[in-house]
Amino acid sequence: MGRPRTFDEDKALESAMRVFWNQGYEDASLADLLADMGLTKGSFYKAFLDKKSLYLAALDLYARQSIVPMVEGLMDRTAGSGHDRILRVFQSIVDMGRSNGDRVGCFLCNAAVDRAAHDPDVELRLNSMFARMEDGFAAALADHLNKGPEAEDVRAGAKALVSQFMGLRVLGRAGQSVRFGDGVLSEVRRLLKLG
Amino acid sequence: MGRPRTFDEDKALESAMRVFWNQGYEDASLADLLADMGLTKGSFYKAFLDKKSLYLAALDLYARQSIVPMVEGLMDRTAGSGHDRILRVFQSIVDMGRSNGDRVGCFLCNAAVDRAAHDPDVELRLNSMFARMEDGFAAALADHLNKGPEAEDVRAGAKALVSQFMGLRVLGRAGQSVRFGDGVLSEVRRLLKLG
DNA sequence: CGTGTTTTGTACCAATCGGTTCCAAACCTT
DNA sequence: AAGGTTTGGAACCGATTGGTACAAAACACG
């Protein structure tokens, strides 16, 4: 019943996410978004409610597409030791910076800086992602230390790893992930050497 | 020679810095800036060249006002042990979050996310600030470890501390510095316990 | 083959964007 | 007090902002 869509809503959302990701909310104009999504205003406002809703949907997509897999990788006991699972996360960020110059950073991290403080809907989503990441690191760290994931030093270590991760991605956004990556990696390695 | 200024250029710049600091470059409209600076367009465009120049000047002010003192504190051997100087830096960020809810983050860090990738003039300034911070941490760390500030593990540790610091400030911007602060602090303390 | 329903593209909207122009007001110098 | 010089403020600019209205187009169903 009615005229069928000529575009893929998921693909369009993915395009929007990329635009928001490397331009930020304010700097991504509707025109930029529409061009990259390959659709016109008529279709856009019918499919997605407005710019802000699109942004929130892009955040949710990022959670599904990037955060969840990363957390699953950290929690997956069949994917190597806790030590290796943690290191792999940081190594992949450094490698990304080395190969393509990164400059895109982490959408979660970018959103935290430019929208979280001004939009409670964004803040809610980010806090949930931060918590998931903490749980992921905690799971891997608990395995590494042969402790429960709720042990006090495990939680503390997991929080520090989230923070360390965010820092590396900020530096990556500024084009510094190669310069700082090795230092971060070797310190994470040292942190994991402790009992 | 001519009519004298009725505003303090330094105060105006400080206001502009605050506005850019918590709204970002794009979201800070000229109207916002003028309102906070307490001057009209005529005076503004005469004193500061344009919006971007104002932003760069604000970044330079931040370097002078926040980064330099912090780095000096880290390098100052009369200000306690290297261990204490480093911990104090992180402690002050956590305390800031505890007392006023922060939400402002670090201007350097905010600029890295929303401007560095798109403006080489910004990137240049940020890289210089990152390097200074690394030198500051390296100096304190070298004192702590009784090594030279160029020792390989000192440089690595300093880089990791810069990254950790940036991460904490991103989390603070998202209102999470209290939640993550203790974890970060205790891990920094552990990192400093190593020989 | 119509009819009803949905999508699509375009024209249009007021508001705001950063920036310029221009002149009167306000001062210093002589 | 007069002349020279700089500032301050308002009027104005074209371009762009996010968003709406509406009619033509494209399908499913009877």
| pLDDT for the residue A2 | 77
On whether the CB atoms of residues A108 and A129 are closer than 8 A, the answer is: yes
| pLDDT for the residue B75 | 98
On whether the CB atoms of residues B91 and A148 are closer than 8 A, the answer is: no
pLDDT band at B105 (very low <50, low <70, confident <90, very high): confident
| pLDDT for the residue B194 | 67
Nearest nucleotide from residue B28 CA, by C1' atom: C17
In A, minimum Cα distance to B122 occurs at: A174
* Whether residue B195 has pLDDT greater than 60: no
Report chain A's C-alpha Rg in angstroms. Answer: 19
Q: Express each pLDDT in B158-172 by its tens digit.
A: 999 999 999 999 999
B189 at interface of A, judged by CB pairs closer than 8 A: no
Q: Express each pLDDT in A77-106 by its tens digit.
A: 999 999 999 999 999 999 998 887 668 889
The segments of chain A whose pLDDT lies below 50 read: none
pLDDT band at B101 (very low <50, low <70, confident <90, very high): low
Give which of B37, B175, B83 is closest to A117, Cα–Cα: B175
DSSP state of A3: P
| pLDDT for the residue A4 | 87
Angle among Cα B108, A107, A9 to the nearest 5 degrees reads 150
| A155 chain-B contacts, CB cut-off 8 A | 183
Instruction: Return the percent helix, strand and coil in chain A, to nearest 5.
Output: 80, 0, 20
| A160 chain-B contacts, CB cut-off 8 A | 164, 183-184, 186-188
A47 touches strand C (CB under 7 A): yes
In B28-151, alpha helices (H):
30-37, 41-47, 51-62, 68-75, 82-100, 107-111, 120-145
| pLDDT for the residue B4 | 85
* Whether residue B50 has pLDDT greater than 80: yes
| pLDDT for the residue A194 | 67
What mean pLDDT comes out for the span B81-100?
94
Our CA-based measurement puts residue B92 at a distance from the nearest CA of chain A, in whole angstroms, of 16
pLDDT band at B3 (very low <50, low <70, confident <90, very high): confident
Hey, which residues 126-155 in chain A have their CB within 8 Å of chain B? Answer: 126-127, 130, 134, 153, 155
Q: What is the homologous superfamily of the domain B9-193 according to CATH?
A: Tetracycline Repressor, domain 2 (1.10.357.10)
What mean pLDDT comes out for the span B180-190?
95
Nearest nucleotide from residue A51 CA, by C1' atom: D18
Q: How far is the C-alpha of B149 from the C-alpha of B106, rounded, in Å?
A: 26
Taking each continuous run of H as one helix and of E as one strand, the counts in chain A are: 10, 0
Instruction: Return the percent helix, strand and coil in chain B, to nearest 5.
Output: 80, 0, 20
| B26 chain-A contacts, CB cut-off 8 A | 24, 26-27
Q: Which positions of strand C lie within 7 Å of protein CB atoms?
A: 4-11, 16-22, 25-29
| pLDDT for the residue A105 | 87
| pLDDT for the residue A32 | 98
| pLDDT for the residue A147 | 96
Q: Which of B24, B164, B179 sits opposite A167 (nearest CB)?
A: B164
In the three-class reduction of DSSP (H, G, I as helix; E, B as strand; rest coil), residue B1 is classed as: coil
HSE-CB at A45 with a 13 A cutoff on CA atoms is 4
